[in-house]
Chain A
Amino acid sequence: MSGDPSLVNGRPLGDLIRQIVAEVLVIAPDEVQPGSALIRDLGAESIDFMDLVFRLEESLDIRIPYTRWQQFLRVRLAGADLSMAITPEVVQAFAEQEMAAR
């Protein structure tokens, strides 16, 4: 995974995130739209975020302790209503942070 950091195995990171979110929530990838709230719009529950982080680890081939996701939310979405605020873009920003920290 050298070169453009927004590509994973030659694939745009945004595409990969959309696919992972769709797999986690057992919906079609085109149901995952920019700005979709994972909890309110797409029906995510707490266990789904553990599933999400696990799948990110596998797809990006890096270790991501779940606590890092929780810490990321505390900082990035401080005070926000999580049922509305966790979107594919937030997940992508987290993935980028973890890839950069590798």
Chain B
Amino acid sequence: MAERVAITGAGAITPIGCGYEAFRDGLRAGCSAVKRITAFDASGLPTRIAAEIRDEADDLTRWVEPRKATKLMSRAALFGVAAAAMARKHAGLDRGAVDPCRLAVVMGAGGMGPTDLDLLATQAGAVIDAAQAGGSGGWDIPTFARLFAERTNPVATLRGLPNLAAAHVAIQNDARGPNATITTACCAGTQAIGEGLRLIQRGDADVVLAGGTDAGVNPVAVLGFSLLGTLSRRNEEPGRASRPFDRARDGFVIGEGAGAVVLERQTFAEARGARVLAELAGYGVSCDAYRITDERPDAEGAARAIGLTLSDAELAPAEVEYVNAHGTGTPMNDITETRALKLSLKAHAGKVPISSTKSMIGHLLAAAGAVELVAAVIAIREGFIPPTINLDVADDECDLDYVPNVARTAAPATALSTSFGFGGQNACLAIRRW
């Protein structure tokens, strides 16, 4: 019989709490972390609310050694490094406990635009001056190149590379095995953990640090998603803005943070006497191959990813006891996802508790799937189902049990976590009590 893969540690940097315990308490309390944006002056934007990491952000540098490494980290990279360090500590996996060449890293990353406001200002300034030099002929590229080179610290350009979160996690943990970055947008965190599972199953690693990280509360990302019409504009009621499956939902709310888990080969975890949080039992992935920002109306791609996950985990639909939904709160996603769950879980879709933790922490983009898998692990470990808050009146086409507004006492033995990205990428993970 094939070896199983154990989840032995979990770390989370989220707007409702940093660390396993704080995140658990936040999920149980069922409060929104969405507020007016403080990271920058958002007064000129159509959406001026987000779920930010606030007071804790500075303190996260204590997870980094030496401190100089923080200089080369984007905000997202710092979140990812901190989440991975938390997960490793949670797993009790000391340095030296694993052969560095058998320790892998897979991270979901790669948000929209630079998160470094200084770099953004430098770029903008160089473009403006180059436009003046170009006159009516548009901006003058040689002038831009010269000004950008003069004004930009080379360090700042390094922070923007999406693969560096995984590189920093590797350096911090002396992880010399396979190292990969998944950049499938909102699906990335889920896919990163799924590909981590495959690394162990293929025999390429004994231990994987897997997760996702993103820092989308910056002008470029907020504006970009605004232009695409995907963000809630409920600026006057931030705490009520993220409302998946609700009839009055008007888009998602950007959040920021990171999630990470320690995955271990069963025999490896057993040999070191590790406490196992849950089994990572299955993974499925598909693509709509349809349109960039529209999901297939028949939900075939999303349903297939869920179905593949069930087969991989050898789970029957009726054995699924909790679903942490993608549940973004966009009009389209919540309807299509409901359809996908009905297609894949059949009649059981109407019986299983389904919730969207994005209602509390917003949409963490490339980090979303990783943080939500941690939420699913918490549901299995801690005896409750996190709620979907702000669910007052469900959409007519969203007619399942979304665990409205209040956490529910339950002891699920299995759970699914789903993620669907712009571009049509769909992924799903299954976990099972060990």
Contact = CB atoms under 8 A, between A and B. Distances in A.
Contact of A26 (B68, B150, B153): B68
A63 B72 CA distance: 23
A47 B68 contact: no
A51 B154 contact: yes
B155 A50 contact: yes
A55 B154 CA distance: 11
Contacts of A25: 68
A74 to B, nearest CB: 20
Interface in B26-72: 66-68, 70-72
A27 B68 CA distance: 8
A54 B154 contact: yes
Q: Which size bracket describes the interface of A in this complex? A: 10 to 19
Nearest to B67: A26
A26 B70 contact: yes
B158 interface: yes
Contacts of A63: 150
A43 interface: yes
A47 B67 contact: no
A98 to B, nearest CB: 15
Nearest to B152: A54
Contacts of A50: 153-155
B70 A47 contact: no
A54 B151 CA distance: 9
Contacts of A51: 71, 153-155
A47 B150 contact: no
A43 B155 contact: no
B-side binding surface: helix, strand, loop or mixed?
A: helix
Contacts of B72: 47
Nearest to B153: A54
A75 B155 CA distance: 26
A43 B150 contact: no
Contacts of B150: 63
Nearest to A63: B150
Interface string A11-51: 00000000000000111000000000000000100011011
Nearest to A54: B153
Contacts of B66: 26, 43
B229 to A, nearest CB: 39
Contacts of A55: 153
A53 B367 CA distance: 35
Interface in B137-170: 150, 153-155, 158
A86 to B, nearest CB: 16
A63 B67 CA distance: 29
B123 to A, nearest CB: 16
A101 to B, nearest CB: 17
B172 to A, nearest CB: 14
Interface in B65-121: 66-68, 70-72
A48 B158 CA distance: 12
Interface string B386-406: 000000000000000000000
16 contacts: A25-B68, A26-B66, A26-B67, A26-B68, A27-B67, A43-B66, A43-B68, A50-B153, A50-B154, A50-B155, A51-B71, A51-B153, A51-B154, A54-B153, A54-B154, A54-B155
Given A43-B68, A55-B153, 7 more contacts: A26-B66, A26-B71, A48-B68, A50-B155, A51-B71, A54-B153, A54-B154
Closest 8 CB pairs of A and B: A26-B68, A50-B154, A54-B153, A51-B155, A26-B67, A25-B68, A26-B71, A43-B66
